[in-house]
Structure 1
Amino acid sequence: MPRVHRPAVVTAVALAAGLLAAAPATGGEQTVSDPRVVAHLQLARGESPENIALEPDGSADLTLSNARQVVNVTREGRTRVLATLPAVANPKTPVVGAAVVLGIARAENGTLYVNYATGTARTGIWRIARDGSAPRQIAELPANGFPNGLALDERRGVLYAADSVLGTVWRVPCHGGTPTAWATGAALQPLNARPAAKVGANGLRLHRDAVWVSNTNAGTLLRIPVRHDGSAGAIETRATRLFAIDDFGFVERHRDTVLAAMTGGSEVELVRPDGTHRVVLTSQDGLSNPTSVAVRGRSVYVTSAAYFTRRDPNLLLARVHQRARG
């Protein structure tokens, strides 16, 4: 979630400070350790990392929201620019007022897809080919919306995008075309009355035949089953009291266990399948308004955008493992 006006900052921090204590951890569950910041980015250049997609070699493709860039960062911290989204004259983007690149998804052939929010006809999903050609818009989404989290279902040939302002999950053919409002409802809507703080559906992941979505204002983690015909099932609330939640990732081989970025409080929480949760990373580990989490094997990647702290946007790596009982 990009930097918003000061009322939203106060709201996010207050919500994070008021986070109720989660249930105590049980023995033998997953935990996170050995955090280290592998890449420090520069706010002065607009380098606030918003979302993340992983490459086969373990490097990470990040969207830098205010720089309108997609970069690749190796596990050793080497960074190179993959693409820059075109500048937009007089952007009228809801929430932030600037053109920002947000969610990212990667296809098996290396093609990248990103959400670009501009407040103009250029708002939508853009494709970034691996041949170095210029990014190309493949779907236009409503200019008054804020397409945030993004996921690709290659088996069905579709992309899903979470719209934070319109409270909608859009579905778009991965080759491009007309978007469909795939899921709507009160559970996806923003709750804050102030325009600069209206952030509902935010993070989005495809997991075990369902689209999972976080709602930042509501502090909830939602699951939307994908029916056999591709339509959306009933929205299920899987966890609550996740105030100022942004994007999230699933711990592999552990069913519905989630690591969620809590941007307001600069924390990452482990969310159990029963909905209880606990903090596993904090600002002391290097987090600075984290926005997204990706997990591969035992490796955990966390982007920190520093939208509110205005301090040290970065990419952090850590290890997820089974905690000893006792």
Structure 2
Amino acid sequence: MPRSPRAAATAVLAFGLVAAAPAPGSEPVVTDARVVAHFDLAAGRTPENIALERDGSADLTFASARQVARVAPDGRTRVLATLPAVADPATPLVGSAVVTGIARAQDGTLYVNYATGTAATGIWRLSPTGGAPERIAALPADGLPNGLALDERRGVLYAADSVRGTVWRVPRAGGTATAWAVGEALEPLRAPSASGFGANGIKVHRDAVWVSHTGRGALLRIPVGADGAAGPVETRATGLEGIDDFAFPGQGRSVLAALNSGSRVVLVRPDGAVVTVLTARDGLSNPTSVAVRGRTVYVPSAAYSTGRDPNLLLARLRQLVDHR
């Protein structure tokens, strides 16, 4: 969730509804946190979103640098691609051109959202064999495509627009974007003190599209009908102030969510209970997203408001949760 200075200032919110860490004597859900890579804030290497490679490497979008990079398990980092510069970028809420969400296909193809405030805004594809990034779908220049998710079974991509309150659906091969889900539940709050960010992170999980709403501090679920249409938006959790992107650590409905403004990662259980599992003491600095592979948890931090140490943190999932 790239931040303008104003948005960063307004995003420091109260966390009264979020549960505290586990009670003394209980076993922590996540342990052995360690930062494996530090990034150059001055160079715009602010990691916004993450996808995982089969060897455990992490593909990151560096929002402000307009780059996609790969971080090996030992922390070595190499830039895979840089999105083309645009003249006079005017991305809503941000001002600059930023690379946001990322999704990886089984064949190694990477898809990223590029928000510019110009005609270059859209979903771009990076071939696993190399070459220049290619735009496969245009998205509105006055929006902010943020989270990105791929449903390979249905052959579609979903992009969450933080400004227009829309989930866009695009054929994986490219083509015209369709407003798949819209409505008040996805729109940013209109209060003067609001951050301006609505729908943000997005995942496809068990015949539904899940979306985080930053302004509402909520986790939403949108069923996918047999015909591919969006069902009614369901609120599955609230009190998640500053929520950015998230991941499912199991096959059930428990979620690990990055709370950007509070530099925390929390576990949201199916009954709505929330437990803090990682904090700034572990190395988080405005975490933006979460990924899970087996028992390894990956958390990039962009340092948007802290201004300190954008990084990639790895930790161990001590217990697999919610397999149902």
Please give the TM-score of this superposition, normalised by the length of structure 1: 0.94
Q: In the aligned structure 2, how far is the partner of 1:320 from the partner of 1:122?
A: 39
Q: 1:258 to 1:319 in 2, by over 3 A?
A: same
Alpha-carbon contact 1:162-1:203 (below 8 Å) kept: yes
Structure 1 unaligned runs (5+)?
Answer: none
**2:303 is aligned with 1:306:** yes
Match of 1:79 in 2: 77
Q: 1:192 to 1:301 in 2, by over 3 A?
A: farther
Residue from 214, 231, 234 that aligns with 2:232? 234
CA-to-aligned-CA distance 1:236-273 (integer Å, 9 cap, x gap): 100000001000010124x0111100000000011001
Alpha-carbon shift at residue 28 of structure 1 (Å): 8.1
Secondary structure in structure 2 of the residue aligned to 1:10? helix
Match of 1:318 in 2: 315
Alignment of 1:1-326 (within 5 A): 1-6=1-6, 8-13=7-12, 15=13, 17-22=14-19, 31-193=29-191, 197-253=195-251, 255-322=252-319
Q: 1:30 to 1:234 in 2, by over 3 A?
A: farther
Structure 2 unaligned runs (5+)?
Answer: none
Alpha-carbon contact 1:219-1:244 (below 8 Å) kept: yes
Q: 1:298 to 1:277 in 2, by over 3 A?
A: same
Q: In the aligned structure 1, how far is the partner of 2:294 from the partner of 2:256?
A: 13
Alpha-carbon shift at residue 19 of structure 1 (Å): 3.1
Q: In the aligned structure 2, how far is the partner of 1:303 from the partner of 1:69?
A: 15
Which region of structure 1 is more displaced relative to structure 2, 262-271 or 21-30? Answer: 21-30
Alpha-carbon shift at residue 63 of structure 1 (Å): 0.2
CA-to-aligned-CA distance 1:115-149 (integer Å, 9 cap, x gap): 00000111010000112110000000000000000
Alpha-carbon shift at residue 21 of structure 1 (Å): 4.1
Alpha-carbon shift at residue 194 of structure 1 (Å): 5.0
Q: In the aligned structure 2, how far is the partner of 1:109 from the partner of 1:212?
A: 24
Q: 1:195 to 1:154 in 2, by over 3 A?
A: farther
Give the partner amino acid of 1:320: L
Alpha-carbon contact 2:15-2:240 (below 8 Å) kept: no
Give the number of aligned pairs: 319
Q: In the aligned structure 2, how far is the partner of 1:170 from the partner of 1:117?
A: 14
CA-to-aligned-CA distance 1:204-256 (integer Å, 9 cap, x gap): 01111110000000000000011110000111100000001000010124x01
Secondary structure in structure 2 of the residue aligned to 1:241? coil
CA-to-aligned-CA distance 1:277-305 (integer Å, 9 cap, x gap): 01110000000000000011100000100
Give the partner amino acid of 1:10: A
Secondary structure in structure 1 of the residue aligned to 2:318? strand
Q: In the aligned structure 2, how far is the partner of 1:134 from the partner of 1:306?
A: 28
CA-to-aligned-CA distance 1:17-44 (integer Å, 9 cap, x gap): 3432428859988711110000000011
Q: In the aligned structure 2, how far is the partner of 1:21 from the partner of 1:307?
A: 22
Which region of structure 1 is more displaced relative to structure 2, 163-172 or 244-253? Answer: 244-253
Give the partner amino acid of 1:152: L
Alpha-carbon shift at residue 180 of structure 1 (Å): 0.5
The RMSD of aligned alpha carbons is 1.8
